[in-house]
Amino acid sequence: MPSSNALSSLSVKITGIVFWGLVIVGLLVSFVILERYEYELEQVYAQSEAQFSEEIQATLNQEPGLDPERLKQRLLGLTKLLKIPAAKLSFEQHEVVVGAIDPRLVPHFQTLHIIGADGKLSNVMVAVYQVDIEPVVDQYRKTFLMSMGALLFLFGYLLKWVLERVLTQPFLQMVDTAQQFSADQQVRFNEKRSDEFGDLARFINQSLDHLLTQQGELKASLQRQHLSEQALLEEKERIKVTLQSIAEGVITTDQSMCVSYLNPIAERLLGIGLSECKGRLITDVVQLVNERDGLPVENPVVRCLHSGHVEKLPSDSVLLRSDGVRVAIEDSAAPMRDDAGAIVGAVMAFQDVGNARELAQKLSFQACHDSLTGLFNRHEFEKRLQSAISDVQDKAVEHALCYLDLDQFKIVNDTCGHGAGDDLLRALSDILQAKIRDGDMLARLGGDEFGVLLLNCNLEDAERIANTLRMTVSEFRFVWQDKIFEIGVSIGLVGVNQYSKDLTDVLSAADVACYSAKDAGRNRIHVYQQGDLELQKRRGEMQWVNRLQKAVDDNAFCLHYQTIEPLQTSAPSGAHIEVLLRMVGSEGVFILPGAFLPSAERYDLIRSVDQWVVQHLFERFGRLMREKYDANPECHDTYGINLSGKSIDNLEFRQFLVDSIERFNIPASTLCFEITETSAITNLAGARHFIEELKALGCEFALDDFGSGMSSFSYLKNLDVDYLKIDGSYVRDINDDPVDRALVNSVNQIGHVMGMKTIAEYAEDDACLSILKAIGVDYAQGYCLSTPQPIDQFFTSSVTS
């Protein structure tokens, strides 16, 4: 349907042009026709009047003196002929009237000059009565105009209808179709028409199909592009969020190294915002210097843009911020390329590694330094020593190694606690460090062991320096609370020269030299010499290590026992034996513990040996021990088991012992652990704890070889032991040596005073036994009483009895 807009445009134009043109032209034509009609009507009137007058004049001229009646007849015929409604003729005394003179008729007068019969000229007045022309014209005009109007309107409508049907309507339909097309693109123009509109519709429809096809393709393309843009936006957002979230600072630059982006971490590390540095050269924004010398470091972005590869910053570089703050960073820069591979910029990623670098430095320091004293540790010392050994093989130089072992350090540690020992070590470290030369190396090698590597130093100078160190330590007085300790140091000195084989050899030689110094009376220097007997002895010990380990693995040990006999009648009647260890040699020969125990002690195998003894004894004889105990609990046997100082100081061994007693159901009161005086004093705190824990189970303890060390009787107060085994070296010569006798007597008295029972070892004859009895020693052990026998015999005989 035509729209209102179309009505006001195309239809209006057609109507305006066709309809109104027709109406106006028709009316104008009508007006002209009417004017012509009126003119012609007036002409007809005038002609009839003129003809009437002429006829009257001719008649009167031809027939002068005509009879009025005849004249009237003639006038009547004339009015009929000329369609004159009425006429009146007046002449002389006559008046002739023809027709009915109606007042609505309009008279037209005319005077005629007639020559009468008498030859005289007379006037004749002629009046012609005509119908009024105005009403006639008016009526004709109305009729004509209304008819014409109706005709023109009708024709105009017809024309308008035709034009609308053939032109406006199809055109407006096309317009309407075009308007519908915007809402529904499936709408098509009417192609059924066979005229130009049909052709146009077909052309437009084809164009629309083509356009829609192209539009579909374009839409698909736009959709793809939209998706691509969406993906790009998402990717951009993801990258942006990632860059803002990561812990690394990121800076991007263009090809000319001008900064284009900073992430928040980069802003924080640089101390400036993106707005301040955007567009500036990265070398102005990121200033890198060497951490140690402060010299500028080339920015990796510059290098990567030049090389086209990923470039890293040297590991010791720091970022110099504009406010002067230095930030340790790790940095790498990579070029950014376009699709063609051309470099379009660079991205630099860096992170604050201040903490990590500080930690690494700390770890590095800790890896080569002793945490207590701050001196180099054993690892670093051996590394430097190895380097020095390698050095002397190539160059004609000589170095020296001092191996320092503090004397009496254990006493400080055990009597005043580890805090005091630590303070002592720190104080001595400072003192020793001050006494060595620049370039020399002082390190803490163990608990109270120090090493000094004297570089480019011959043996004489080294001995002089070592002596200085010894004297310094000797003169040092360590004060702890109300106690003053005098410390000594034993120093083993060995030259590092072209004869030095390797690190182990040099360290072993220094160690041996140090032990030699200790053995020689402590607080002295022993200079190692090639072919030293002590070294050979130590090496012999080292050979025992393999045999010992093999023996432990192969159970190449056996147990013997020796009885401990009571000397006083008041002693309980149960058997008292000491369990003894023997190694079974290659040909079945028993090897006494004196041969292998020093090696076991020195090379840390003694715990395995002790463990073997306990395990073996309990496994094989645990049941018998329990049965014997259960048979007579009041008068039970006592089994003396030797333990080393290292074992009693070891928590794992202690736990093993407790677990074994429980597991094998051993009556604890039958066990008497023998600890040497030296090991007990060396590990006083450990020994005390061990004794307390085992005594809580019911075990007894004996202090073995008492008197050999003669450290101090005061230690006895700290050790809750049940037996004092007087060292055999005093007992052996008691018959001849009054001093030994006095000593045994003293020890016996002290033991008794402290509630302990005494046992004299090495009682080898009856005279000795008599003296011991006289002194009041409670028990004796020795060859005059019994010799060591395989322990199986003890349990076999017990079962038999």
Partner 1 sequence: MALLGFKPEMFCRYFISNCYILEVSRKKGLMMSERDYRLVLGSVILAGLYFTLAELIYAVVLVLLMEGVFNFRLVSLLPYLMQQGRGMADWSGTEVRYEFSAERAWRILFALGLFLSFEFYTTYWAISWFLGFAVFGAGASGVCPMLMLFKWAGFR
| Catalytic machinery residues | 448
Smallest distance from partner 1 to CB 106, Å: 16
Residue closer to partner 1 (CB basis): 15 or 745:
15
Asked if 109 interacts with partner 1 (CB under 8 A), we say no
Quickly list DSSP for 70-101: HHHHHHHHHHHHHT-SEEEEEETTEEEEES--
Looking at the Cβ atoms of 27 and 289, the one nearer to partner 1 is 27
d(CA 157, CA 150): 10
Q: How far apart are CA 512 and CA 534, in angstroms?
A: 7
Q: Closest Cα to residue 704, out of 781, 650, 616, 787?
A: 781
Q: Is 396 helix (H, G, I), strand (E, B) or coil?
A: coil
What is the DSSP secondary-structure string of 480-522? ETTEEEE-EEEEEEEEESTT---HHHHHHHHHHHHHHHHHTTS
Based on CB atoms, which residue is closest to partner 1, 138 or 659?
138
Letter for the amino acid at 60? L
136 touches partner 1 by CB under 8 A: no
Helical axes 196-245 vs 169-183, angle rounded to 10°? 20
Binding characters for partner 1, 207-226, by CB under 8 A (x = yes): --------------------
| Contact pick of 88, 156, 305, 442 for partner 1 (by CB under 8 A) | 156
Options 149-157, 283-291, 298-306, 427-435: segment touching partner 1 (CB under 8 A): 149-157
Q: Name the minimum Å distance from CB 146 to partner 1.
A: 6
Q: Please identify, among the stretches 150-158, 253-261, 609-617, 771-779, the one whose residues bind partner 1 according to the rule CB under 8 A.
A: 150-158
Which one of 157-165, 294-302, 347-355, 497-505 is the stretch in contact with partner 1 (CB under 8 A)? 157-165
Q: What distance in Å separates the CA atoms of residue 475 and residue 477, rounded to the nearest whole number?
A: 6
Pairing relation of β-strands 249-254 and 343-352?
antiparallel
Contact 291, 330 (CB under 8 A): no
Among 5, 73, 228, 386, binds partner 1 (CB under 8 A): 5
Q: Where are the beta strands (DSSP E) in 687-761?
A: 700-706, 723-726, 757-760
Query: Which of the stretches 146-154, 353-361, 632-640, 643-651 binds partner 1 when contact is defined by CB under 8 A?
Result: 146-154
Q: Which amino acid is at 742?
A: A
149 forms part of the interface with partner 1 (CB under 8 A): yes
CB count within 10 Å of CB 539 equals: 11
**Stretch of 65-73, 90-98, 148-156, 269-277 contacting partner 1, by CB under 8 A:** 148-156
Rounded Cα distance between 591 and 594, Å, is: 8
The stretch among 3-11, 255-263, 379-387, 630-638 that binds partner 1 (CB under 8 A) is 3-11
11 lies in the binding site for partner 1 (CB under 8 A): yes
Q: How far is the CB of 12 from partner 1 (least distance, A)?
A: 4
783 binds partner 1 (CB under 8 A): no
Q: Measured from the CB atom, is 136 or 187 closer to partner 1?
A: 136
DSSP string, 524-590: SEEE--TT-HHHHHHHHHHHHHHHHHHHHHHT-EEEEEEE-EE-STTS-SS-EEEEEEEEE-TTSPE
> Which listed residue (158, 239, 742, 767) binds partner 1 by CB under 8 A?
158
Beta-bridge mates of residue 642: 674
Please report how close the Cβ of residue 277 comes to partner 1 at its closest, in angstroms: 57
14 vs 427, which CB is nearer to partner 1? 14
* CB distance 665 to 627 below 8 Å: no
**Which among 13-21, 268-276, 474-482, 720-728 is the span making contact with partner 1, rule CB under 8 A?**
13-21
Q: Widest CA span of the chain, in angstroms?
A: 243
Which segment (52-60, 88-96, 155-163, 592-600) binds partner 1 by CB under 8 A? 155-163
- Check if the beta carbon of residue 680 is closer than 8 Å to that of residue 716: no
Among 83, 113, 142, 539, binds partner 1 (CB under 8 A): 142
For partner 1, the closer of residues 26 and 728 by Cβ is: 26
Position 39 contacts partner 1 (CB under 8 A):
no
By CB under 8 A, name the one of 2, 23, 198, 353 that touches partner 1: 23
Closest CA to 495 of 460, 536, 469: 460
Residue 153 lies near partner 1 (rule: CB under 8 A): yes
**Cβ at position 39, least distance to partner 1 in Å:** 15
Query: Under DSSP, is residue 728 helix (H, G, I), strand (E, B) or coil?
Result: helix
Binding of partner 1 by 426 (CB under 8 A): no
C-beta separation of 115 from 102 below 8 A: no
**23 vs 302, beta carbon nearer partner 1:** 23
Q: Closer to partner 1 at the Cβ: 170 or 751? A: 170
Q: Encode burial over 562-574: b for 16+ CB neighbours within 10 A, e otherwise.
A: bbbbbbeeeeeeb
Please report how close the Cβ of residue 185 comes to partner 1 at its closest, in angstroms.
Answer: 29
Residue 146 is a binding residue for partner 1 (CB under 8 A):
yes
State the Cα–Cα distance between residues 658 and 694, nearest whole angstrom: 8
Indicate whether 31 belongs to the interface with partner 1 (CB under 8 A). yes
Please give the single-letter amino acid code of residue 709: G
Place of tokens 């146009």: 200
Complex with partner 1: residue 149 or 354, whichever CB lies closer? 149
By CB under 8 A, residue 8 contacts partner 1: yes
- In the list 44, 114, 141, 529, the residue contacting partner 1 (rule: CB under 8 A) is 141
Kindly state whether residue 485 participates in binding partner 1, applying the rule CB under 8 A.
no
- Going by DSSP bridges, is the β-strand pair 326-337/399-407 parallel, antiparallel, or unpaired? unpaired
* Minimal distance, residue 143 CB to partner 1, in Å: 9
Nearest to 331 by CA among 291, 359, 364: 291
By the rule CB under 8 A, 125 interacts with partner 1: no
Torsion angle of C-alpha atoms 763, 769, 771, 773, degrees rounded to 10: 120
In the complex with partner 1, the residue whose CB is nearer, 8 or 364, is: 8
- Binding of residue 25 to partner 1 (CB under 8 A): no
Q: 159 to 178, contacts with partner 1 by CB under 8 A?
A: 160-162, 165-166
Task: Annotate 768-791 with b (16+ C-beta within 10 A) or e (fewer).
Answer: bbebbeebebbbbbbebbeebeeb
| 57 closest CA partner among 140, 126, 6 | 126
Task: Report if residue 21 touches partner 1, rule: CB under 8 A.
Answer: no
Q: Which stretch binds partner 1 (CB under 8 A): 1-9, 250-258, 355-363, 608-616?
A: 1-9
For residue 743, the tally of other CB atoms under 10 A from its CB is 19
Of 46 and 166, the one with the shorter C-beta distance to partner 1 is 166
Please tell me whether residue 249 binds partner 1 under the rule CB under 8 A.
no
Residue 173 vs 786, nearer CB to partner 1: 173
One-letter amino acid of 785: L
For the stretch 743-748, contacts whose Cβ atoms lie closer than 8 Å and that sit 24 or more positions apart, written own/partner, are 743/707, 744/772, 744/775, 744/777, 745/775, 747/706, 747/707, 748/724, 748/775, 748/776, 748/777
Nearest approach in angstroms of CB 161 to partner 1 is: 5
Site for partner 1 in 608-637 (CB under 8 A): none
Taking CB under 8 A as the criterion, the residue among 157, 203, 365, 783 binding partner 1 is 157
Q: How far is the CB of 94 from partner 1 (least distance, A)?
A: 40
Of the pair 160, 357, the CB lying nearest partner 1 is at: 160
How many residues bind partner 1 (CB under 8 A)? The answer is 29
DSSP bridge partners of 329 = 352
Residues that bind partner 1 (CB under 8 A): 4-5, 7-8, 11-12, 15-16, 19-20, 23, 27, 31, 138, 141-142, 145-146, 149, 153-154, 156-158, 160-162, 165-166
